[in-house]
Structure 1
């Protein structure tokens, strides 16, 4: 291969090429195409296998009938309704057909307390047990209920089908040392209460680990996004066993911050059961999540196989041999490399990589000083230039996104066309870096620029490690290869630019892989995030974080050559054309619809109304034009409505007067299947209650009665003092369609999906 000259060094007339920047651009373009192809390929699930595989292996073809029956034959499986009961009956029948497996239906009831809230619940859980030869239990958990009005293919019939096939394959293979219990709980969507019921089952008294399967989408690969940090042996078992590793510690950090508006049964098992375990979930194509669109047509072939083969291998690994000791370094970082290899380590190892990277960087700087005459002042100048380049690479696309969302009033075009956002904002990020190269060329010596890039990557990685953020895992992949190749290239300076571009490949691939997954997770979530502001800048920032590191490498290799300002203008023009296309794209379509929450509200003493709220929190636009809607300060709209036909709130209150310890009030409710009662009152006014749980803590006590009993529910609440206590009581009927809701729904565009509900409310003074 011909060598590419980046700097005219020496006096050899044969050394410089006429247009060295053309070779740099060509090499960079090849690397970009190869990187995108590798990341795209790694995100796709493997090809599904048929029923011809051995009996002890996982087969997507054998699991598919379970998925199809739950979605097409049973349909919505709301906790406590006939649909959920039919699903439980069917699953018990399938599991009873597996030789050697014991099956039981658990009818659980209790009170789950979390923060200032308490759930009084009932749940139907299907359990299957495959006895082992020794002690200990491994739990595989998945909820079989669904949200209202949705077939629930991705959430969570696919995981249930995979788990049933895993149990069949386990039973067909050699007997394991530990007992394996499959827990298919029937009330996750009602507040994680099905999992709370599993905690007390006698089959799980010796539970040593759990694998929870859930979903917020129906395509791609199932991601390992939560794992108990104090049980590093779990991740070690995952790394040793699974054939399709797919894991990301950043997902765990996002859940811990609350930026993802969802929870899973992992929370119950770890916080209330104190069991070590991990959470696996599909997340791509979250547009259909909790909508009627979550059907079989959205399920991607191979998703079942990837999840099933991983769970089967992981269960076999956890259920055989002696249990690893808990002693050891707690895991703070885990991720996969293009779905091929799993990496997991703790804080000490993370700091070890920082120190190792520092040693390598110092060694490379030493080589650059000895061989290329690079000085500290030159590196400092180059570092200043890199910071300006990177800042412009972020500000230009973010500024364009702010213009789209706040000035032009055309936000969220990327919701319907994510690829267009990647092209538009990515081009603007590259243009920003190139403009930086033209405005602030910085140090001309290519070795100094390369050394500054290494110092910058190492410093950012060290700072993120000090902050305890798992995303720091990216930076050893930038610094270690970069330092090695910079040191080698110092022997021949004309190779420094190409060497640094090649050295950036490992770090850039993992950076793009991370941002790819974050965008696939974040963009659908914005449809139900309800922040009330355009989020174009957040999407532009994520795209820029993927593009800027590689663009900086290009800038380092080019320096000020090739008229970067003129090139930046051409690239920026492409980006602006993309932004113009985003401004013209309607944010929603039939595949990626906008979500509206329609609530038929009947509050005692007030006329009935229809409350309309966009789940993305953005203005409703012209969706209610000509309907006489009253727009509230919260952004939701109220429409006049007729009575729902449900009648008065079926609640009775009996005040028993002063007793020992306070005033007693008995609250009774006759709820229909699928209904939920919510009672709110000041916590400091409550001295006790008759429910079998401690009183929650907090300024307000929130009692939720979910999956109501067939007869009457009642509870006795003891109040302090004689002063009146304000109480709010609401009954929610999710999925309930009144005539007003149906009339409005028929008049909405086909790119809008509706979540209907009815609410009856009363405010009292006890």
Structure 2
């Protein structure tokens, strides 16, 4: 049988991926999770059997237990858990060492109670399976190991990723990670969080085929009453550089019984797969990729320089504009200075000092008009939502 050497969404939508994963995850309770985990492991075992001699492939079916405390929405929450399953696959070359810096790709196969979880996060698991398949079947042997973590407990306070980061032998080898998530069923995959440091977003800017990212999203994300596994890897336990990639559109179906395969947009999954595979390859080739011991040996000074965030944004997913905060101070100050002083300079050149008061009045008037527009842009959608809620009596239009 001839294997395709590119990311193929048709295999995900109707073949080995989303349909089967969702079919298992749809089952409520422990049995449903076990079925999903077993399905994933079976697919990974099949890939290992047909892998070429240049590959070193390791698969682990682990059970995690633990306790921890976290702050969530301003509250201190203490959690204890046991017997949650993680399925892990490590793909490397035959000459790789156990402590080589690796790239982690994480996604969860559990779903909220009552939701089939096609978008969140069956689509993520299926994309990861297809990327693992593509890595094995295309003959591309990664220069650094790639770890695929299929974790079985994200919806309840990221238990699966916590278990991996506190107990697994590969945790200290991770030099960068990509967390694949969804709060909808379609759309380009937005990079909503990145760091620590700016190099993960720079790698994304240089390698993503259809980049969609905005540094402002990282400022907005803390306001959202939720969290992802990114928090565990980058903030609470690992301090690992990485990206949080997420579907946003179709949010009406998020965590509901309407999150089904039929509402997934195949083109969105294809774009996500193309982006992920390209970015993963770039991470494995990056000189910045370092394991925990290497990062620690750099010392505090290097860590402080890496903590500087960058400014970046895409243009219609065609390309991504990226520059540092220091460059931003200069680039953003110049137009502000022109905006503030040019009206006065133009008026003074023509009419003299007598018109400065009128110029100042026009300047304030213009600022008030723009401020009013910004306020109305925020209020108008809220007013429309309130009116619809009053008329229909339902928070969702379906």
Match of 1:182 among 128, 148, 161: 148
Q: Does 1:331 align with 2:309?
A: yes
Give 1:352's aligned residue. 330
Q: Does 1:105 align with 2:61?
A: yes
Give 1:340's aligned residue. 318
Question: Is contact 1:76–1:147 with CA below 8 Å preserved after alignment?
Answer: no
Give 1:268's aligned residue. 232
Question: 1:192 & 1:153 partners in 2: Cα distance?
Answer: 19
CA offset digits 1:280-314 (Å, max 9, x no partner): 11121111111111101211221111211111111
Q: Does 1:250 align with 2:216?
A: yes
Distance 1:289 1:173, change over 3 A: same
The structure number with the bigger radius of gyration is 1
Give 1:58's aligned residue. 7
Question: Is contact 1:67–1:160 with CA below 8 Å preserved after alignment?
Answer: yes
* Structure 1 residues 283-432: aligned runs within 5 Å: 283-323=248-288, 327=305, 330-358=308-336, 360-361=338-339, 368=346, 376-393=356-373, 411-413=386-388
CA offset digits 1:427-483 (Å, max 9, x no partner): xxxxxxxxxxxxxxxxxxxxxxxxxxxxxxxxxxxxxxxxxxxxxxxxxxxxxxxxx
Distance 1:346 1:399, change over 3 A: closer
TM-score, normalising length from structure 2?
0.81
Give 2:392's aligned residue. 586
Distance 1:110 1:391, change over 3 A: closer
Question: 2:125 & 2:373 partners in 1: Cα distance?
Answer: 45
CA displacement at 1:94 relative to structure 2: 1.0
Give 1:220's aligned residue. 187
Give 1:502's aligned residue. none
Question: 2:127 & 2:276 partners in 1: Cα distance?
Answer: 8
CA offset digits 1:224-254 (Å, max 9, x no partner): 00011x4211111000000111112232222
Distance 1:369 1:293, change over 3 A: same
Distance 1:332 1:77, change over 3 A: farther
CA displacement at 1:391 relative to structure 2: 5.0
Give 1:509's aligned residue. none
The number of residue pairs the alignment matches comes to: 362
Question: 1:352 & 1:335 partners in 2: Cα distance?
Answer: 17
Match of 2:266, SS? coil
**Which structure 1 residue ranges, 5 or more long, are not aligned?**
1-51, 416-582, 594-750, 752-766
Distance 1:386 1:282, change over 3 A: same
Question: 2:381 & 2:288 partners in 1: Cα distance?
Answer: 52
Match of 1:205, SS? helix
Question: 2:340 & 2:255 partners in 1: Cα distance?
Answer: 53
Question: Is contact 2:344–2:356 with CA below 8 Å preserved after alignment?
Answer: no
Larger RCO (alpha carbons 8 Å, 6+ apart): 2
CA displacement at 1:316 relative to structure 2: 0.2
Match of 1:94 among 36, 40, 43: 43
CA displacement at 1:214 relative to structure 2: 1.0
Question: Is contact 1:331–1:345 with CA below 8 Å preserved after alignment?
Answer: no
* Structure 1 residues 679-718: aligned runs within 5 Å: none
Question: 2:316 & 2:91 partners in 1: Cα distance?
Answer: 34
Question: Is contact 1:142–1:213 with CA below 8 Å preserved after alignment?
Answer: yes
Match of 1:97, SS? helix
Q: Does 1:241 align with 2:207?
A: yes
CA displacement at 1:359 relative to structure 2: 5.7
Give 1:622's aligned residue. none
Question: Is contact 1:241–1:313 with CA below 8 Å preserved after alignment?
Answer: yes
Question: 1:315 & 1:321 partners in 2: Cα distance?
Answer: 10
* Structure 1 residues 2-21: aligned runs within 5 Å: none
Question: 2:380 & 2:268 partners in 1: Cα distance?
Answer: 36
Question: 2:246 & 2:109 partners in 1: Cα distance?
Answer: 14
Q: Does 1:278 align with 2:243?
A: yes
Q: Does 1:70 align with 2:21?
A: yes
CA offset digits 1:691-731 (Å, max 9, x no partner): xxxxxxxxxxxxxxxxxxxxxxxxxxxxxxxxxxxxxxxxx
Match of 1:106, SS? strand
Distance 1:87 1:349, change over 3 A: same
Distance 1:364 1:61, change over 3 A: same
Structure with greater proportional helix content: 2
CA displacement at 1:338 relative to structure 2: 1.7
* Structure 1 residues 448-467: aligned runs within 5 Å: none
Question: Is contact 1:218–1:284 with CA below 8 Å preserved after alignment?
Answer: yes
